[in-house]
Amino acid sequence: MGLQEYQKIADETITIASPELRDINWDIHSHPEVLFQERHAHKVLSDFLEQRGFEVHRGAFGLETAFKATYGPEGARAVAINLEYDALEHIGHACGHNLIATAGLAAAIGTAEAIKQGSINGRIVAIGTPAEEGGGGKIKMIRQGAYEDVFCCLMVHPMNKDNAYVSSMCGSELTIEYIGKPAHAMVAPWDGINALDAVTLLQTSIGLLRQQIMPSDRIRGVVLQAGQRSGVIPAYAKARYCVRSASLERYRVLKRKFINCMEAAALATGCELKTDWLPAYWDIRTNEALAGKFVEHMERQGVAFRPAYEQKMDRECFSTDMGNVTYVVPSIHPTFEIVSPGGSIHTADYAAAVRTQDAHDRTLRCGRAMASTALQVLADDDFAAAVRREFDAQDWSIAADPAVA
């Protein structure tokens, strides 16, 4: 039995399972759960994989709503498929993570059936990754060794276009607090230390900085608190900012500039500065060998892709903790087209668009393509070697720098 036969088994398995996969897809959509609260999705996905013969570890890697589901002989070359299933507060699955989970299930069961029928010496590992929306779930899982025993990792994400060579931004969010001293603003303002002034200086500094940062850099924020009464010098101010750049290396530079702005505002006003940074989401480094095979297996299903060089020219402004995974093992994070006439991802219209039969059908095409790509890695030693050579040829030294965390 050859590779084409393996891929045919995977395709047929996914097609037969489509009604059940759609039920799971829409069930998760109907039960949106925010970061680290994805208990319903965790159970539904884990139960399904367990019923399909996977060995399932629930609550994996120290996270209650993470899981690791494995099929295949111990010690064999392993391909991981990431599943996301957290939702957004107030607008539910407006990022389409119900589709990501469904595509991952499809790929996992298709690959597993081919391993079973074809006696392939390989393993498929479905990894349930909670809290992509701000919680950095995959970062926590990396630190717990989630990807230490896998050869490569695949996942897909709905977006407004098909692109297998996706790039993303590197960035983080932080909460900023300036702590001053209250005083009567009319009687003795000189006795106060004005925290609102510190935020104003921060905003002014960032505004002036913009002329000297790269066009691809992003700094944006909101003031959460800055006093209550006009007659009192504000003793406390709080803001939340996001800092992003096109690469991990550039992010380190921009972050230092931003820190200088924060510290200068504190120094000028006399305020105490406190910051709370979330873990940085690193930029996606796409493995082009894997991406090329994914495109090949999508195109045989009738999906037309632009030339690779055009896809690589797209500069996406989102960030994802899947970027961190791409620094650990060869990986891809293709996007697939789900268009909402009323808006982009993270809108109520998009939440409606990802619960349609058309969206489900597009999702299963991605599941088939990931399964076929995984089988190529497991059954084709030459291809697997090419994937690894590309990964090893890159300079990963920046990832070892603790200053970028």
pLDDT at 286 over 80: yes
CB atoms closer than 10 angstroms to residue 219? 20
Mean pLDDT lowest among 75-84, 257-266, 336-345: 336-345
H or E stretch covering 332: strand 331-332
pLDDT in tens, 65-98: 999 999 999 999 999 999 999 999 999 999 999 9
Residues 6+ apart with CB under 8 A from 269: 178, 180, 193, 194, 195, 197, 198, 201
Q: How many residues does the structure list for the chain?
A: 405
Tell me the pLDDT band of 315, cut-offs 50, 70 and 90.
confident
Bridge partners for 272 per DSSP: 179
Q: Quick one: DSSP state of residue 284?
A: P
Give me the CATH code for the 3-168+281-404 domain, please.
3.40.630.10
Question: Domain residues of the chain, as ranges?
Answer: 3-168+281-404, 175-277
Residue 342 is predicted with a pLDDT of 78
Strands laid side by side in the 331-332 sheet = 55-58, 67-71, 122-128, 77-83, 152-154, 331-332
One-letter identity of residue 27? D
Tokens coding 193: 């230390």
Is residue 343's pLDDT more than 80?
Answer: no
Q: How does DSSP classify residue 154?
A: E
- Quote the CA–CA distance of 1 and 113 in Å, as a whole number: 14
b/e string for 261-296 if b means 16 or more Cβ within 10 A?
bbeebbeebebebeeeeebbbbbbbbbbbbbbbbbe
> Taking each helix axis from N to C terminus, what angle separates 288-299 and 357-379, rounded to the nearest 10 degrees?
130
Compute the average pLDDT of residues 114-143.
97
Q: Is the pLDDT of residue 259 over 80?
A: yes
pLDDT of residue 196: 98
DSSP one-letter code for 121? S
Average pLDDT, the chain: 97
pLDDT in tens, 144-193: 999 999 999 999 999 999 999 999 999 999 999 999 999 999 999 999 99
SS3 content of the chain, % helix, strand, coil (to 5): 45, 20, 35
- The contacts of residue 361 (CB under 8 Å, 6+ apart) are none
Dist. CA 158–CA 144, nearest whole Å: 28
Q: Note the pLDDT tens digit of each residue in 375-400.
A: 999 999 999 999 999 999 999 988 87
403 pLDDT more than 60 = no
Confidence of residue 405 (pLDDT cuts 50, 70, 90): low
Q: How much is the pLDDT for 1? A: 85
Chain centre to alpha carbon of residue 222: 23
- Given a contact cutoff of 8 angstroms between Cβ atoms, the answer to whether 239 and 223 are in contact is yes
Q: How confident is the model at residue 404 (pLDDT cuts 50, 70, 90)?
A: low
Residue 339 — very low, low, confident or very high, per pLDDT cuts 50/70/90? Answer: confident
Cα dist. 84→105, 118, 322 in Å?
11, 29, 10
Q: How confident is the model at residue 223 (pLDDT cuts 50, 70, 90)?
A: very high
**Does 393 or 402 have the greater pLDDT score?**
393
Q: Tell me the whole-structure pTM to 2 decimals.
A: 0.95
Rounded to an integer, the average pLDDT of 197-216 is 98
Give the CATH number of domain 175-277: 3.30.70.360
* Count of beta carbons in the 10 Å neighbourhood of residue 81: 25
Can you spell out the DSSP letters for 210-275? GGGS-TT-EEEEEEEE--S-TTB---EEEEEEEEEESSHHHHHHHHHHHHHHHHHHHHHHT-EEEE
Q: Quickly tell me which residue has 């697997």 as its tokens.
A: 384
Confidence of residue 344 (pLDDT cuts 50, 70, 90): confident
pLDDT of residue 401 exceeding 80, the answer is no
Q: Which residues contact 400 (CB under 8 A, 6 or more apart)?
A: none
Residues 6+ apart with CB under 8 A from 57: 67, 68, 69
Three-state SS for 1?
A: coil
**Structure-token pair, residue 171:** 């960035």
